[in-house]
């Protein structure tokens, strides 16, 4: 479905007391990538899954990067605001509350940027393999927002120090951050799934 400003998929809620999820894929993914994961970790939630608008060698992403781990921060700001505007549009179109972002890799990074730049757009976030998206982020008020961060200690892309810095930054802005570091790489594991199931079960479901 593509009549809003992002190509996206939408699945209406099938259960009560579950927050809507904003599903944000990694590099090379699309609007279908995280649908089954969203259904699994928060059964019955409405699912809103946009496709990133930036292409890197033909692969969709949510913002430009200059090299692996080096972001075009001007583009990060532009794209985070653009995505937050889409969330506002979609909430009106589909009658949704503010969603909880579930993002992997590039999707987790744009979700973290949204928390910093447009905190009103999200009720919270589950950030899988996220890193600091902005070196000089504005001071956001994230009081009352729950954030799950799951990092891989053997992740070749995201350094442990970087993910710890992001967790500290979100905590200092008032978010209720649960940061888990697993003995794994950049890919997701069964432990990621178990952590998300437990975390989402505590968010009103």
Concerning whether 136 is annotated as a catalytic residue, the answer is: no
90 by DSSP, 3-state: which? helix
- Chain segment 107-137, per-residue pLDDT in tens: 999 999 999 999 999 999 999 999 999 998 8
- C-alpha dist (Å) from residue 71 to 42, 66, 109, 131, 154: 31, 6, 10, 10, 21
- End-to-end Cα spacing for the chain: 27
Q: Pick the catalytic residue: 105, 151, 163, 169? A: 105
Domain ranges of the chain: 8-201
Concerning whether 105 is annotated as a catalytic residue, the answer is: yes
Q: Pick the catalytic residue: 85, 186, 189, 203? A: 186
Concerning whether 186 is annotated as a catalytic residue, the answer is: yes
- Chain segment 17-64, per-residue pLDDT in tens: 899 999 999 999 999 999 999 999 999 999 999 999 999 999 999 999
Fold classification of 8-201 is Rossmann fold (3.40.50)
Q: Pick the catalytic residue: 25, 42, 45, 155? A: 155
* CB-based burial, 69-92: b 16+ in 10 Å, e otherwise: eebebebbbebbeebbebbeebbe
DSSP E strands in the chain: the ranges are 8-11, 21-24, 47-50, 54-56, 59-61, 65-67, 70-71, 100-104, 124-128, 146-152, 176-182
pTM of full prediction above 0.85: yes
């Amino acid at each position: 479905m593509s009549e809003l400003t992002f190509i996206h998929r939408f699945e209406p809620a099938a259960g009560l007391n579950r927050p809507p999820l904003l599903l944000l894929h990694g590099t090379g993914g699309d609007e279908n990538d995280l649908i089954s994961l969203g259904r699994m970790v928060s059964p019955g939630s409405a699912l809103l899954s946009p496709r990133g608008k930036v292409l890197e060698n033909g692969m969709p992403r949510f913002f430009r990067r200059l090299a692996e781990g080096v972001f075009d921060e001007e583009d990060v700001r532009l794209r985070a605001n653009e995505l937050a505007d889409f969330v506002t549009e979609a909430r009106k179109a589909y009658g949704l509350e503010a969603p909880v972002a579930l993002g992997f890799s590039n999707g987790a990074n744009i979700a973290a940027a949204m928390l910093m730049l447009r905190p009103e757009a999200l009720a919270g976030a589950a950030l899988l393999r996220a890193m600091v998206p902005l070196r000089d982020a504005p001071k956001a008020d994230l009081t009352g927002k729950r954030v799950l961060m799951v990092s891989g200690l053997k992740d070749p892309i995201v350094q442990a120090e970087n993910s710890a810095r992001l967790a500290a930054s979100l905590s200092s802005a008032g978010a209720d951050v649960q940061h888990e570091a697993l003995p794994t790489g950049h890919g997701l594991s069964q432990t990621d799934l178990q952590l998300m199931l437990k975390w989402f079960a505590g968010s009103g479901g």
